[in-house]
A = this chain, B = another copy of it.
Amino acid sequence: MNRERRALTRAGLKATAARERIFQLLESALPERHHLSADDIYARLRQSGERMGISSIYRVLTDLEDAGLVHRHHFDRHTMGRSLFELADGAEHDHMVCVETGRILEFQDPLIEARQRAIAERHGFEVVGRKLVIRVRRAGADRAP
């Protein structure tokens, strides 16, 4: 049994072909572009001659999200109105989005994370998840339109 099926089963999901395949796609996405929309996935599948209903893709992604295997994002104007999904493997990380190019960088900062937990606790909550997106621009770029 492969890595994907194991992850699905461990998460309490039936290891179906569709789930396995989408999981693989997310895993194998290039580091520079591993935030995929439902449609990206649909297109990539078609490119390799496979066919999956777009509704199934949405359902699978939602299931994976519920199981904590995938994160869903709504970044910015650049991707507004569309969800982007990425694998939730390894450590949680946050995102920086360049408002000019739409480029997405990831980073990780233990201090910010600790601080978030502290703030939540102060209000009587525990952290379930976090989502930090810093909108940035190349330093020194002109502000004028």
Q: Which A118-145 residues have C-beta < 8 A from chain B?
A: 119-121, 123-141
| B125 with A136: CB separation less than 8 A | yes
| B131 with A133: CB separation less than 8 A | yes
Q: Which residues of B contact A25 (CB under 8 A)?
A: none
**Interface flag for A112 (CB, 8 Å):** yes
Instruction: Tell me the minimal C-beta distance from A20 to chain B in angstroms.
Output: 24
Q: Which residues of B contact A17 (CB under 8 A)?
A: none
With A127-B134, A130-B134, A134-B130 already in contact, the answer to whether A139 and B115 are too (CB < 8 A) is: no
| A119 with B96: CB separation less than 8 A | yes
Q: Point out which of A125, A127, A141 has the most chain B C-beta atoms below 10 A from its C-beta.
A: A125
